[in-house]
Structure 1
Amino acid sequence: MGESRERLWTRDFVLLTVCNLLLFLTVQMQTPTFPAYVKEAYQANDFVVSLVISLFSLAAVIARVFTGEALKTKSSKILAIVALGFVAIFSAGYYWAGSIVFFLLLRILVGIGFGMGSTTFPTIVSNVIPAKRIGEGMGYFGLSTSLAMALGPLIGLGLLNWFGFGSMLIVLVLLVAIIFPLMHFIRAYNQLPVSSGNAQTVTGIRRFYDKKLLLPAGLNFCLSITYGGILSFLALYGKEAHIENVGWFFLANALAMVLIRPFSGKLYDRKGHIAVLPPGAIFVGISLLLLSLTTTESLLLVSAAFYGLGYGMIQPSIQAWMVKVVTPEQRGMANGLFFNSIDLGIAVGSVLLGVIATHSSYSVMYRWSAACLLLFLIVYFLSQLAAAKAKKAAVASENVGV
């Protein structure tokens, strides 16, 4: 019986991972294609084009906050169905959007659906993964996001260029539709986490966060600032550095993440986050410094590999950390805060690093981006020293009491 409980690759785990892959794939198909489509179809200016991404992200951030709270008491299956319904129905509505205002409204509604789904699926899967294999399990589950990041833009741009906007939307809606029958075979919806007997009812704003999550969420935010610089300015940096195929960076980056995640997850389970986060931060820092010096595609690929290794070590470990330190009832909130720290970090990174690039160059900007990892390491080690000091003081106090 004990061996059965420790199984990771159950039917529910596999199905939830596939569902998450399909959901994120639909979003990653939209991210690179919609700004260009809006600019051409509606003759929109750059500010309106920026709203295509920012309004979607803002809607997802807000939806995750309330979804995390709803998962404590509501059916996760109902929430998942509502989320997918929003994504499928309102994505199909893009085709009939007669004005940019209607298009942006649909972006908000799809963002709400994605925010709900991207919180619900990880929360369900965190209840399925054995506690002693949470790092390994979240690492494998996170591969679905990495694959979507690698394949989504390629599929979306290919469909848009070869078959047109309508065909791309059909494929997008079909991918969401595939999730519905898969969900029928998942049994973990009613697998509620075991509540601790002395759990206290939390009211007010603390329903939406826990102070134990502030450190890992802050570290994730810091890491995501650097990714905002990659997403927003890599193509422009390629022109500045005279590198033609900068898109290879994303493919090499995703491949490195896919390769490292299973190993980093097992290392997290055995040694804890201190064995994973510092080397991961060093890898990302090296990547950004190499990127700032890049003038050839070969060096670009080396930089991408380092970034993928570091990002693939840090991100699933932080998610496992956040899920592990809260009560089972708070896992929805923890997952929502995890993804929100990513989106907010990317948004802040795009703005702050863009200001630096405006007053210097993209090469200088990536060197400053590497400084985020120095801050990451300083905050992390100071927090560990403070925790060790507090633990030592607590032990000394107990000894005095005895």
Structure 2
Amino acid sequence: MQQDSQQEPLWTKSFLSITVCSFLLFLNLQMLLSSFPAYVQNDLHAGNVAVSLVTSVFALTAIAARFMTAALMKRMSKDYLLMAGLLLAAVTTLLYPVAHTVGSLLIMRIGYGVGFGMASTILPTLVSQLIPARRMGEGIGYFGLSTSLAMSIGPMIGMNMMSGFGFGTLASVGTAVVLLILPILIVSRIVRIKGNARPISMTAAAVSRAADETGFNHKLWLPALLNVMLSITYSGLLSFIVLFGEFAGLKQVGMFFLFNAITIVIIRPISGRLFDRNGPAAVLIPAGLSVAASMLLLSYTHTMSMLIAAALLYGLGFGAIQPTLQAWMLRTSSKEQYGAANSMFYNSTDFGVAVGALLLGAIASMTDYASMYRYSAGVMVLFVILFLIIYASTGTSKLRNNGITE
């Protein structure tokens, strides 16, 4: 296996190119997603339910689009599907300011969900084929930095841009970010305009076919469920932290995402190597407690120092958990099932965001934003308890080497 890792180095041109493209795709998503709550409430004069729908409708549409993409990849060129998804995401982003009612905005969100779902299915499937099996945790850790960094700095950029220049300018910049992906893919020869057959494209198609032939991998359920629970907490930040800032009297609440990004960058590579050596338990238990502590501290926050402390704790936990869960799902799958594993990982993320937006929005309406974040802390306590129950029933050695497929 060591020889295979040397023959297949991690830091290839294709790996770097796909990682940058993934960062830009999720940056577009996060820049706009964090600003929708204020836009919907202030410009469209809607309430918490409408704010929740803007987030959940997109997430549910993206889930459906991933299933559709998996089926289409068997019959159509991956290159065309990826380009179509990116262009659809760009066009709908550009048209957001034209939607002057909640209904028309939801239509735009459905279109964006389809485009984003298509692109976010193909990119991670391609990159997982480039990572040596024994370095999966490390490789996904570095690739996942693209997503985590976008999730950390995107909301801050979006909120500051909307505050300074308005939602229209923010949508235009978001469109440019997506369109920048296209020349990167073409120049790096990840895709070809004419759709010529290439080994990496054939591999992606083979993944989809083989996943259908080998059936569903039931070992994916636990990490997928844990990812749903983590994503519920993140949904509460995306959908309501701006409104919580107004509630708590914090004018620079967007700084949460900046300091969150700092610890994510630090912990991502470390957690990946720790997972490769010791399995998921060594990462998920302390990281889950870190997220729970962050949510609890945030619920009592009324000063900037408390906000920064909560952000650092959240970054440590979130930045360690997310790549560990994705790598765990890939390590318990054969290479032929990587496409299905990646699809389930991202679908569980979007499902958690959708459920979280609706559930936490309802809690906020019945109580307040501080209480809502305390419920989020409770979700992460359940996260740790659930994992510990499975850990105790399965056994240390099985979880340490959980289903590694040679």
> TM-score if structure 1 supplies the norm length?
0.84
State the one-letter code of the partner of 1:264. S
The aligned residue for residue 317 of structure 1 is 324
The aligned residue for residue 386 of structure 1 is 393
1:12 and 2:32 matched: no
Cα deviations by residue, 1:220-278 (Å, 9 ceiling, x for unpaired):
11122222233333344444444443222121112211111011111111111122111
> When the two structures are aligned, how many residues end up with a matched partner?
385
State the one-letter code of the partner of 1:21. F
Cα deviations by residue, 1:146-205 (Å, 9 ceiling, x for unpaired):
222233234334444444444434332322222112112145733617979xx78549xx
The aligned residue for residue 31 of structure 2 is 29
The aligned residue for residue 314 of structure 2 is 307
Contact 1:69/1:332 (CA < 8 Å) preserved in 2? no
Paired with 2:34 and 2:4, the residues of 1 have a C-alpha distance of 46
Q: Which among 248, 252, 265 is matched to residue 258 of structure 1?
A: 265
The aligned residue for residue 184 of structure 2 is 182
Paired with 2:129 and 2:282, the residues of 1 have a C-alpha distance of 24
Contact 1:68/1:331 (CA < 8 Å) preserved in 2? no
Paired with 2:174 and 2:252, the residues of 1 have a C-alpha distance of 26
| Gap change, CA 1:130 and 1:315, over 3 Å in 2 | same
State the one-letter code of the partner of 1:383. I
| Gap change, CA 1:190 and 1:4, over 3 Å in 2 | farther
| Gap change, CA 1:193 and 1:36, over 3 Å in 2 | closer
| Gap change, CA 1:21 and 1:165, over 3 Å in 2 | same
State the one-letter code of the partner of 2:307. L
Shift of 1:29: 2.1
Contact 1:195/1:327 (CA < 8 Å) preserved in 2? no
The aligned residue for residue 66 of structure 1 is 68
Contact 1:139/1:317 (CA < 8 Å) preserved in 2? yes
The aligned residue for residue 203 of structure 2 is 192
The aligned residue for residue 58 of structure 2 is 56
State the one-letter code of the partner of 1:229. G
Q: Which among 118, 121, 125 is matched to residue 119 of structure 1?
A: 121
Paired with 2:51 and 2:250, the residues of 1 have a C-alpha distance of 26
Paired with 1:13 and 1:89, the residues of 2 have a C-alpha distance of 27
Identity over aligned pairs, percent: 45
Q: Which among 287, 291, 296 is matched to residue 303 of structure 2?
A: 296
Shift of 1:283: 1.3
Q: Which among 88, 103, 106 is matched to residue 104 of structure 1?
A: 106
Contact 1:284/1:307 (CA < 8 Å) preserved in 2? yes
Cα deviations by residue, 1:117-141 (Å, 9 ceiling, x for unpaired):
1111111110011111111111111
Contact 1:71/1:332 (CA < 8 Å) preserved in 2? no
Q: Which runs of 5+ in 2 are unaligned?
A: 191-198, 399-406
1:87 and 2:89 matched: yes
| Gap change, CA 1:151 and 1:223, over 3 Å in 2 | closer
| Gap change, CA 1:73 and 1:280, over 3 Å in 2 | farther
Structure showing greater Rg: 1
Cα-Cα RMSD: 3.1
Partner SS state of residue 276, structure 1: helix
Partner SS state of residue 222, structure 2: helix
Paired with 1:200 and 1:234, the residues of 2 have a C-alpha distance of 39
Shift of 1:69: 4.3
Partner SS state of residue 252, structure 2: coil
| Gap change, CA 1:301 and 1:325, over 3 Å in 2 | same
| Gap change, CA 1:168 and 1:330, over 3 Å in 2 | same
Q: 230-239 or 56-65, which moves further after superposition?
A: 230-239
The aligned residue for residue 400 of structure 1 is none
Contact 1:87/1:176 (CA < 8 Å) preserved in 2? yes
The aligned residue for residue 240 of structure 2 is 233
Contact 1:15/1:186 (CA < 8 Å) preserved in 2? no
State the one-letter code of the partner of 1:109. G
Partner SS state of residue 9, structure 2: coil
1:220 and 2:224 matched: no
Paired with 1:166 and 1:389, the residues of 2 have a C-alpha distance of 53
Shift of 1:97: 5.1
Shift of 1:83: 1.0
Shift of 1:2: 4.1
State the one-letter code of the partner of 2:241. L
| Gap change, CA 1:366 and 1:91, over 3 Å in 2 | closer
Paired with 2:97 and 2:395, the residues of 1 have a C-alpha distance of 57
> TM-score if structure 2 supplies the norm length?
0.83
Contact 2:52/2:357 (CA < 8 Å) preserved in 1? no
Contact 1:72/1:330 (CA < 8 Å) preserved in 2? no
The aligned residue for residue 397 of structure 1 is none
Paired with 2:39 and 2:331, the residues of 1 have a C-alpha distance of 42
